[in-house]
Structure 1
Amino acid sequence: MSTERRTAPRTPLDRRRVVDTALRLLNEVGLDGLTLRAIATELEVKAPALYWHFKDKRALLDEMATEMYRRMVAGTPLGAADTWRERLLRSNRGLRAALLGYRDGARVFSGSRFTGMEHAEQMEDNLRLFTAAGFTLAQAVRASSTSYLFTLGFVIEEQGMRPLPDEGEEGRQGVDVDERARRMADFPLSAAAGAEIFLDYDRQFEDGLALVLAGIAATYGRD
């Protein structure tokens, strides 16, 4: 009888496995610490092996953003009977929740070019809904993109200001609103504004999104 040890076959390396690993590692090290070398180490391969699937880190980030979008769409089904307001509320709340699910998620998403067609399918549905509600195509695009950019920018700032829970007391901390107010005592309105700027991001987001929607309705004369 042979006593030769058999090793379990290694899972083949493919784009999906690389991206899944990169997204998991992103939550551990953040975007700045996410290197191809770190991903390769996690996968127990040499860094050049990744170049068979992605020509550079930018290409990998594009695929990561696309996978984030796929997961977001799967977790945020559109309502067939949505009004334009309901659609923007649903999609932007879903986008924020999806981006907050990853450390530096908004930074990964920003400026990325999707590699699939899932976004085109959802965009077509959104534009069809808006034009049926009386928006011109240009108005529909502007309304959708303005709300999207508000959400993306909001989450970039939100993730930049919130403390990182896994870094302990030595890591990045949130803003001490009381200490800020003490330092700005000569500027009482600005000091008091700290509670509006750095606390309760959920309320801030909802208030800001409501302002965007109100502006769309007022500008384009839509209820």
Structure 2
Amino acid sequence: MTTERRVPLDRTRVAATALTLLNEVGLDGLTLRAIAKELDVKAPALYWHFKDKQALLDEMATEMYRRMIAGIPLDADDTWQERLLKANRGLRAALLGYRDGAKVFSGSRFTSLVHVEAMEDNLRLFLSAGFTLPQAVRAYSTTYLYTLGYVIEEQGVEPLPGERREGYDIDERARLMSDFPLSAAAGAEIFADYERHFEEGLGLVVAGIETRYGKRAP
């Protein structure tokens, strides 16, 4: 007779297991049955904690955010531009840590108020720089949406760093488009060097916010 005690099953443990499994199977392969097998429980046991897969994705996104903000300390001396750059670089790095990480995060609802402290601090920073509250929200959400969309497309080509999906060979693409030289040459700007292109695009968005709202760094 075994005396070994099982680790209690709770939302945090299920979400952490799901995030680990996500890197192996991707979002399409992440089923409650697969997660239950990994936890050595029956699938119905998970329904005590999550009514459906979306509820689980919400918890996974919340856990991803917890891990992300743990590595991004707030700096009271940041300009609003610096805060946007830091936040979105951190978001991209966090999402790239998981196969289909951006898809999991997109459209999910946080299951706790884990994000509110940083949100309040960010809004306070923007208002102190002269933004109205609607302008601050628009500036922050626009850069967030840029990053989220960028990483969704990036992971469509490279599901994990260093891993490339079949069909995205740039040289082969250029060969097939040889009658369209500009489109052929554009491949290297679309499907490679994601780090540099992300930084350039983020800079364009921030510069656009400066121009639109007339807010410069002090």
Q: What is the TM-score with the length of structure 1 in the denominator?
A: 0.93
Counterpart amino acid of residue 187 in structure 1: F
Could you tell me the percent identity over the aligned residues?
76
The yes-or-no answer on 1:149 pairing with 2:145 is yes
SS at match of 1:118: coil
The yes-or-no answer on 1:220 pairing with 2:216 is no
In structure 1, the residue matched to 2:199 is 206
Task: Give the C-alpha shift of residue 32 in structure 1.
Answer: 0.3
What's the Cα RMSD here?
A: 1.5
Q: Take 1:184 and 1:6, find their aligned partners in 2: how far apart are those partners?
A: 65
Which structure: larger Rg?
Answer: 1
In structure 2, the residue matched to 1:172 is 165
Q: Take 2:83 and 2:24, find their aligned partners in 1: how far apart are those partners?
A: 33
Runs (4+) off by over 4 Å: 163-167
Q: Take 1:174 and 1:187, find their aligned partners in 2: how far apart are those partners?
A: 19
SS at match of 2:115: helix
8 Å Cα contact 1:14/1:53 also seen in 2? yes
In structure 2, the residue matched to 1:36 is 32
Aligned partner of 1:193 among 181, 186, 191: 186
SS at match of 2:86: helix
Q: Take 2:10 and 2:159, find their aligned partners in 1: how far apart are those partners?
A: 34
Aligned length: 216
Q: Take 1:70 and 1:166, find their aligned partners in 2: how far apart are those partners?
A: 25
Within a 5 Å distance, the mapping from 1:1-223 to structure 2 comes to: 5-162=1-158, 172-173=165-166, 175-223=168-216
Q: Take 1:219 and 1:113, find their aligned partners in 2: how far apart are those partners?
A: 30
Structure 1 stretches of 5 or more lacking a match? none
8 Å Cα contact 1:163/1:174 also seen in 2? no
Higher relative contact order (CA 8 A, sep 6+): 2
8 Å Cα contact 2:102/2:151 also seen in 1? yes
8 Å Cα contact 1:180/1:191 also seen in 2? yes
8 Å Cα contact 1:36/1:50 also seen in 2? yes
